[in-house]
Amino acid sequence: EDQVTQSPEALRLQEGESSSLNCSYTVSGLRGLFWYRQDPGKGPEFLFTLYSAGEEKEKERLKATLTKKESFLHITAPKPEDSATYLCAVQARYTDKLIFGTGTRLQVFP
Amino acid sequence: DVKVTQSSRYLVKRTGEKVFLECVQDMDHENMFWYRQDPGLGLRLIYFSYDVKMKEKGDIPEGYSVSREKKERFSLILESASTNQTSMYLCASSLNGPQETQYFGPGTRLLVL
């Protein structure tokens, strides 16, 4: 069964304290792995898509990496405005459906 | 910029009412999706559509139906709302093809009393 597990469930960081969020997955043939950011009461906002092991993508303080079993979202020197829930989703081959993890709720304190 | 809009941000309905949630996208996307999001359960797919008048059941279709009469519009219908359908409802759209990103609307928070 295709599955996505995110850890930790919640993470509290001091401003400037770098850390990583984990997304472990099992899927019958990976078509793509997606990272989204979701602010309270709003829809998910697309961040990155990763397609194959070894791939990396960056955007401002965020960097996403992918292996055959997991993806990491690295946050370098976070700011309070990075506080949000980060969602990971995978898409299996031959389908347009996404399977989502339950997210990591990140809080960054000044 | 991809834009997905949903007809209401907040909605309060009574048990047994018929509820319509509407979603419109302006990027000529073929695929459209309806999810619900509940604490601890993540996003779960209710229905999706590959084309006009086409629909496919997702993981939790019971108690819901959908309508896609035009390419840009995808409606979710709760035939007889129940309290366990209180949730955040999210619409998404994507192009039809491999590795195409889904873009989400702002969501509708539905409360069924």
pLDDT tens, residue order, chain A (110 aa): 889 999 999 999 999 999 999 999 999 889 899 999 999 999 999 999 999 999 999 999 999 999 999 999 999 999 999 999 999 999 988 777 889 999 999 999 99
For residue B104, pLDDT beyond 70: yes
- CB atoms under 10 Å from CB of A2, counted, come to 15
Closest by Cβ to A32, choosing from B58, B99, B107: B99
CB pairs under 8 A between A and B: 51
Which of A42, A91, A101 is facing B42, going by the closest CB pair? A101
Give the pLDDT of residue B2. Answer: 67
Of A45, A89, A102, the CB nearest to B41: A102
How high is the pLDDT of residue B98?
61
What is the pLDDT at residue B75? Answer: 97
Q: Give all strands (DSSP E) within B1-113, no chain letters.
A: 4-6, 10-13, 19-25, 31-38, 42-49, 56-57, 64-70, 73-78, 87-94, 103-104, 108-112
Task: State residue B99's pLDDT score.
Answer: 60
Q: Does B48 touch chain A (CB under 8 A)?
A: yes
Whether residue B97 has pLDDT greater than 90:
no
Cis peptide before B61 (omega within 30 of 0): no
Work out the percent of chain B whose per-residue pLDDT is above 70. Answer: 96
Q: Which residues of A touch B109 (CB under 8 A)?
A: 41
Q: Does B95 touch chain A (CB under 8 A)?
A: no
Residues 30 through 89 of chain A touching chain B, CB cutoff 8 Å: 31-32, 34, 36, 41-46, 49, 51, 87, 89
Coil, strand or helix at A33: strand
Quick one: pLDDT at residue B79? 94
